[in-house]
Amino acid sequence: MNNNYNKFVLHEHDDKFYYKKNKKDINISFNRVAFVFFVFFIISIIYSIHLLHLGLQKTVSININQIKLSNELHRADIIDRNGNFLAKTVSSIDIGINPKDIINQKKLLLNLGYIFPNKNYDLIKSQIKKSKFFWFEKKISEENYEKIMMLGDKSIRPEEKVSRIYPQKNLFSHIIGQIDNDNTGISGLEKSLDEKLKIDKEPIKLTVDKDIQFLIREELLKYNEIFRALGSAAILMDVNNGEIISLVSIPDFDPNERLNITNVNFINRATKGVYELGSVFKTFTLAAAINENVIEPSKQFKNLEKSIKCGKNTINEYDEKIPSNLTAEQILIRSGNIGSVRIGQLIGLKKFERFMNELNLMDTIKFDIEEVGVPISFKWGKCKLATVSYGHGITTTLLQLANAYAIIVNGGYKINPSLIKKNKKVIRKQILSSEVSKKINPILRKIVNTKEGTASLANIEGYEVGGKTGTAQKSALGGYSKKKINTFASIFPTSNPKYTLIVMMDEPKTNDEYIYNYRDGSGIKYKGTPFNTAGWTSVEVAGQIIEKIGPILATKYNEVNK
């Protein structure tokens, strides 16, 4: 039969039936399916392109924000003169989750579980339930950071963190200082170089040497315990250019811990502490006399008194055994008080005051860190001239003392103490007569290598150590206490000075069990500290230090200082 609605045609043949498909209908059905498939294909392509675009846009946005944040947190590294890291910035990214922005919690947890399978998701679910922001992963790896950000979930919040680490821990704490939680320097070079550290891309190189700093600190720690001192400090400086190779103050701290230090005993004794330092000033008295052409070292002083009156006060000789007849040179070697007063009086008040100002001993010294002490001001007069001549009634910092000794022994050239390594050579200005160094340096050597001197314990063979001791009582309310500041200002080698080493001990005490070994080849040993003076405390420490650092200085810096 003929019917347009039939889907197939029946045929009778050999008592069997079969059907034949209508080709026209099959073509129509296929075209419809193909069309629908094509439409879905186009839609999926458009959707994929859109997702890719959004993903790239989000990634670019994240990268831009990350770069901006990284720039804000940037802080240049600090290295020593040999390239060892003293301060280093390490960046990391923390991932947080804001539950209020979660659209599909089940999907989010499923994806997070795939990336971080070892997390406690029961705990995370409870944190999400609180609806408060929480940290999901701290210091995330780069690989996982990319994975988690590709989820595109707006509840996920990345935050870049900066970690300022100090690989040497306590070793340079008083030099480097600390930063606060806002990435701002609050002490040391971190504070004084704060803006520079945030801008510079290259590391900032210092003049200090990690190995020498370590050795000096070890000796200070050791002898701080032996002599039961309140604290101690040491400065090693190149006398020709002012570069500070080591600066240590004990006690110190670990800047990695970011402690809020309020204990005044943690003061930087090398730069911030202001002290009366005693007889180390006698070197300046004789140097001023030579510079002003007042006397020669061979000048004879006869019938020196054991005590003299100045106003209401009496100035006594520290040791009654000191002879009454001495040359100017012998006065310095034997550390005579009365003889030093007589030399000061010959110089005169105005000339002596001018000389002390030339050495920058009485005003605030310019330095690379802000923790610098201010010497106590006073009015000059006849009695003040007398007391200052032997180091009484005048204060300064160890940094200024090191600077002044460098000028005295380097030919009279002015230098500026520095912790920052300079690329160009500094042009020096001569402010003292070269005769001062020629005549003072051999005398400083005799203080160490002669029996009359007060620093024989620092006579290290091969280093030509010279220097001057200073023992001073600490000032107290209404006068002076029995507590002492013991100092030794040394130079070496005296025939061609390269270094000054200042060692100070704050309130040391004697030790009955300590054994002294003389280093002059005599083999003499002495048990117990007979006197609480610099000659038996600070000199011993300086001798131990020079013995340890001498070989390093001789090999590392021999060519540099030629």
Nearest to 232 by CA among 244, 216, 245: 216
Q: How far is CA 304 from CA 89, 282, 288, 296, 319, in A?
A: 63, 16, 20, 18, 13
Are 246 and 175 a contacting pair, CB within 8 Å? no
> Which pLDDT does position 321 carry in this prediction?
87
Q: What is the DSSP string of 245-296?
A: EEEEEES---GGG------GGGS-TTTT--EE-GGGGHHHHHHHHHHTTS--
Sign for the pseudo-dihedral over CA of 457, 459, 460, 464? positive
Helix axis angle for 23-73 and 142-149, nearest 10°, is 130
Nearest to 438 by CA among 307, 286, 562, 330: 286
Are 201 and 209 a contacting pair, CB within 8 Å? no
Are 556 and 210 a contacting pair, CB within 8 Å? no
Kindly report the length of the chain: 562
Please name the residues in contact with 275: beta carbons below 8 A apart, sequence gap of 6 or more: 395, 396, 397, 398, 472, 474, 485, 487, 504
Beta bridge partners of residue 236, listed in sequence order: 246, 501
Unique residue bearing structure tokens 């054994």:
515
Backbone angles phi, psi at 397, to 5 degrees: -105, 160
Q: How far is CA 3 from CA 6, 19, 504, in A?
A: 6, 15, 121
Between the CA atoms of 102, 103, 106 and 110, what dihedral angle is there, to the nearest 10 degrees? Answer: -70
> Which pLDDT does position 60 carry in this prediction?
41
What string of pLDDT tens digits covers the 562 residues of the chain? 444 444 444 444 444 444 444 545 545 555 665 665 665 666 666 655 555 554 444 444 444 444 444 566 689 999 999 999 999 998 788 999 999 999 999 999 999 999 999 999 999 999 999 999 999 998 888 889 999 999 999 999 998 877 889 999 999 999 999 998 788 999 999 999 999 999 999 999 999 999 999 999 999 999 999 999 999 999 999 999 999 999 999 999 999 988 888 899 999 999 999 999 999 999 999 999 999 999 999 999 999 999 999 988 899 998 888 999 999 999 999 999 999 999 999 999 999 999 999 999 999 999 999 999 999 999 999 999 999 999 999 999 999 999 999 999 999 999 999 999 998 777 889 999 999 999 999 999 999 999 999 999 999 999 999 999 999 999 887 789 999 999 999 999 999 999 999 999 999 999 999 999 987 777 889 999 999 999 999 999 999 999 999 999 987 776 444 4
**Token pair for residue 45?**
């392509």
Residue 383: CB atoms within 10 Å? 15
Rounded distance, CA 538 to CA 458, Å?
9
3-state secondary structure of 521: coil
Unique residue bearing structure tokens 């021999």:
558
3-state secondary structure of 520: coil
Q: Is the peptide bond before 375 cis (omega within 30 degrees of 0)?
A: no
**Token pair for residue 263?**
């204990």
* Strands of 499-506's sheet in order across: 244-250, 231-238, 499-506, 479-492, 466-476
Unique residue bearing structure tokens 């007391």:
387
> Which pLDDT does position 247 carry in this prediction?
98
Distance from chain centroid for Cα 400: 19
Helix or strand (DSSP H, E) at 527 = strand 525-527
> Which pLDDT does position 161 carry in this prediction?
77
> Which pLDDT does position 476 carry in this prediction?
82
Rounded distance, CA 132 to CA 14, Å?
84
> Which pLDDT does position 59 carry in this prediction?
45
The terminus-to-terminus CA distance of the chain in angstroms comes to 123
